[in-house]
């Protein structure tokens, strides 16, 4: 009976360790980002920024419709406001 309890506790401990490792490790090695080959030209970025600044579309709506993170669009808008289209 004691061996069964010990084995059960050991199995639970292994599960906990495995869950912690999964959280810490993140994406498995060799896995690629879904959109790793995406590239936006300055003109392409400017078009998104122009629509947002002119309030033709909200930042969050643009992000959802174009599958771009709102943080990325936010950075583009900020850079444009600081440096113009050259950023």
Residues 6+ apart with CB under 8 A from 68: 48, 62
Nearest to 66 by CA among 30, 38, 27: 38
Contact by Cβ (8 Å): 74, 49? no
pTM of the model: 0.55
List, in sequence order, every beta strand (DSSP E) within the chain: none
The residue extents of the domains of the chain are 2-26+39-86
Residue 35's CB is within 10 A of a number of other CB atoms, namely 9
Distance CA 69, CA 55 (A): 18
Tens digit of each residue's pLDDT (9 = 90 or more) over 33-87: 555 556 788 888 899 999 999 999 999 999 999 888 999 999 999 999 988 877 5
């Amino acid at each position: 009976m004691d061996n069964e309890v010990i084995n059960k506790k050991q199995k639970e401990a292994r599960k906990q360790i495995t869950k912690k490792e999964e959280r810490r490790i993140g994406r498995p090695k060799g896995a690629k980002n879904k959109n790793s080959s995406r590239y936006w030209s300055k003109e392409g970025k400017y078009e998104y920024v122009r629509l947002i600044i002119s309030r033709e579309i909200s930042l969050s709506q643009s992000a959802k419709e174009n599958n771009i993170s709102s943080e990325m669009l936010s950075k583009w808008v900020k850079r444009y406001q600081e440096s113009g289209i050259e950023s």
